[in-house]
């Protein structure tokens, strides 16, 4: 029994010196930030949001402008087909129907391209904001003596003294005076190998 206790003490003493060398983790000093307030409140963000809304409205207007004549022509073709009472349409009606289908496909492609551009623009705006926010988080944490920052939406509760939202917002307004609201053109890679 004494041997068992002695060997346990010996093993424990071998572990203790190595544990003493481990560095203690400092106490957490937490700051919270309301990112929604920051991105809705920054001056350049407001301008970018307005530009995106304008792009969305332009897309809706274009959709209406394309849809109206297509609907009218489609109804006219449908009426002409129904008037045939099951007979084969003549070449002129077939050509009209084919031309209408082509216009409809072109309109759909145009609208899809515009929607994709708006999505890319939105992602580009978010990317510009995120690039500026990273260093700002570090600066605000250093200024306020925090060693961790969390988004206020992920907390259950926090004291008002922990909130650094206004600091982050002020720094973002300084660091990001404007935002480019149109994403750069996508580069397409050629699938053909380069010549030797």
pLDDT (0 to 100) of residue 23: 80
For the chain, give every domain's residue range.
Answer: 27-175
Token digits for 150? 């969390």
Between CA 184 and CA 143 the distance in angstroms is 35
pLDDT in tens, the chain (196 residues): 555 444 444 444 554 455 445 688 888 889 999 999 999 999 999 999 999 999 999 999 999 999 999 999 999 999 988 888 888 989 998 899 999 999 999 999 999 999 999 999 999 999 999 999 999 999 999 999 999 999 998 888 888 889 999 999 999 999 999 999 999 887 765 555 555 4
Token digits for 108? 């759909």
Query: Which H or E run contains 144?
Result: helix 91-144
pLDDT (0 to 100) of residue 27: 85
pLDDT (0 to 100) of residue 158: 84
Query: Which H or E run contains 32?
Result: strand 30-33
CA 12 to the chain's CA centroid: 53
pLDDT (0 to 100) of residue 131: 95
Report whether 178 contacts 47 (CB < 8 A): yes
Token digits for 163? 């909130």
pLDDT (0 to 100) of residue 133: 94
pTM of the model: 0.74
- Collect all residues with Cβ–Cβ distance below 8 Å to 121 and sequence separation of at least 6: 52, 55, 181, 182, 183
What backbone torsions phi and psi does residue 144 show, to the nearest 5 degrees? -95, -5
List beta partners, residue 150.
32
pLDDT (0 to 100) of residue 9: 45
């Amino acid at each position: 029994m004494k041997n068992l206790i002695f060997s346990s003490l010996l093993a424990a003493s071998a572990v203790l010196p190595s544990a003493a060398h481990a560095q203690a983790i400092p106490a957490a000093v937490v700051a919270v930030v309301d990112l929604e307030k920051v991105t809705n409140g920054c001056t350049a963000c407001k301008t970018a949001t307005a530009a995106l809304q304008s792009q969305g409205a332009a897309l809706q207007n274009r959709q209406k402008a394309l849809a109206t004549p297509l609907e009218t022509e489609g109804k006219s073709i449908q009426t002409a087909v129904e008037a045939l009472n099951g007979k084969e349409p003549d070449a002129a009606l077939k050509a009209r129907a084919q031309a209408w289908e082509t216009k409809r496909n072109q309109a759909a492609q145009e609208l899809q391209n515009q929607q994709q551009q708006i999505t890319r623009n939105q992602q580009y705006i978010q990317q510009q904001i995120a690039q500026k926010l990273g260093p700002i988080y570090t600066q605000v944490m250093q200024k306020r003596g925090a060693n961790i920052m969390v988004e206020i939406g992920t907390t259950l509760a926090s004291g008002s003294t922990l909130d650094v939202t206004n600091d982050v917002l002020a720094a973002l307004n300084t660091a990001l005076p404007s935002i480019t609201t149109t994403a750069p053109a996508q580069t397409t890679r050629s699938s053909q190998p380069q010549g030797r």
